């Protein structure tokens, strides 16, 4: 391994403070006064200038590296087809792990009875969305909506997806994510309609997830018997068993 200090115009490392200042500059996060002062320093300080250019290049490396990683993902149709061929409980198991790792995990060990809103908040974990590359206009629109979804701009995601042709809107993938976007927007009634359609399809890989979120909608509304009935259909999910215990207390 070469010794960077002997061979480079760059310092071996920069402080977190300096790094964050450069990052703020590159990402447009500086106020006008700070930017002006920083640009004055840039004009005079060649070392700082080199470092800004280097960070700029590294950020581009992350963007393009992440895009390449995303590129390996299949198209919507391939995802739907592939997911149908994988047991849905495999996804459910992954969701359990995700939930177990989540911030809300500690609630699972909390014995005190909770209100409906608290239970919902404790167990609700927004689906992070699909990383998909698209190659046609429709796929692009779907992907574009998914980017908005991941940015938590749920209304924008819904608007984009609704421009897709009916046959795409009818897929369980779209139905599920439209439902989730509505749920994240707090529109429980509309979300429930979409999730109901997905949960009715036992072949759908979103079947278990749709049941889980429908159960949470019932919890939020205080409809515990309905929530319990749905959760009882998810016996292999730890989070479902835990929530059932809470509801039965």
Partner 1 sequence: METSKDTWNDNPERLLHKAYTDNIGWLERYVRRNSGTVEDAADIFQESISVAWLNFREGKFRGDAQQFNAYIRQICKYKWINQLRSTARKQLSYEADLSIFEGEAETRQVEESIGQSEILRASFSAIGEKCRELLGRFYFGRQSLAQIARVMNNTEESIKTIKYRCMMRLRKAYLERHQENE
Q: What minimum distance in Å lies between the beta carbon of 115 and partner 1?
A: 22
| Two structure tokens written together for 90 | 């495999």
Q: Per residue in 127-138, is it b (16+ CB within 10 Å) or e — as a string?
A: bebbebebeeeb
Nearer to partner 1, 27 or 32 (CB): 27
Q: What minimum distance in Å lies between the beta carbon of 121 and partner 1?
A: 13
The site for partner 1 (CB under 8 A) is made up of 1-2, 4, 7-8, 10, 12-14, 16, 19-20, 26-28, 53-71, 101-103, 105, 128, 133-137, 139-140, 143-144, 147, 150-152
Nearer to partner 1, 135 or 203 (CB): 135
Nearer to partner 1, 61 or 200 (CB): 61
| Two structure tokens written together for 42 | 């840039």
Nearer to partner 1, 64 or 200 (CB): 64
Task: Give the dihedral sign, CA 229/234/236/237.
Answer: negative
Q: What minimum distance in Å lies between the beta carbon of 244 and partner 1?
A: 24
Q: What minimum distance in Å lies between the beta carbon of 55 and partner 1?
A: 8
* Calpha distance 149→154 (Å, rounded): 5
Do 211 and 193 contact (CB within 8 A), yes or no?
no
């Amino acid at each position: 391994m070469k010794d960077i200090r002997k061979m480079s115009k760059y310092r071996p490392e920069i402080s977190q403070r300096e790094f964050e200042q450069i990052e703020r500059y590159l990402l447009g996060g500086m106020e006008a006064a700070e930017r002006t002062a920083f640009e004055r320093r840039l004009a005079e300080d060649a070392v700082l200038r080199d470092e800004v250019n280097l960070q700029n290049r590294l950020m581009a490396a992350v963007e393009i590296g992440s895009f390449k990683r995303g590129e390996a993902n299949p198209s919507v149709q391939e995802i739907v087809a592939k997911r149908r061929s994988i047991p849905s409980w495999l996804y459910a198991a992954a969701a359990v792990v995700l939930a177990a790792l989540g911030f809300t995990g500690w609630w699972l060990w909390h014995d005190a009875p909770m209100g409906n809103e608290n239970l919902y908040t404790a167990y609700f974990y927004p689906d992070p969305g699909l990383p998909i590359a698209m190659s046609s206009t429709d796929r692009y629109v779907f992907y574009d909506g998914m980017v908005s979804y991941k940015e938590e701009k749920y209304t924008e995601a819904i608007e984009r997806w609704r421009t897709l042709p009916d046959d795409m809107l009818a897929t369980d993938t779209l139905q599920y994510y439209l439902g989730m976007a509505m749920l994240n927007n707090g529109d429980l009634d509309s979300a429930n309609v979409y999730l109901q359609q997905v949960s009715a399809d036992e072949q759908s890989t979103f079947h278990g997830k749709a049941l889980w979120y429908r159960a949470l909608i019932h919890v939020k509304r205080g409809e515990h018997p309905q929530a319990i009935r749905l959760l009882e259909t998810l016996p292999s999910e730890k989070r479902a068993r835990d929530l059932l215990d809470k509801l039965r207390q």
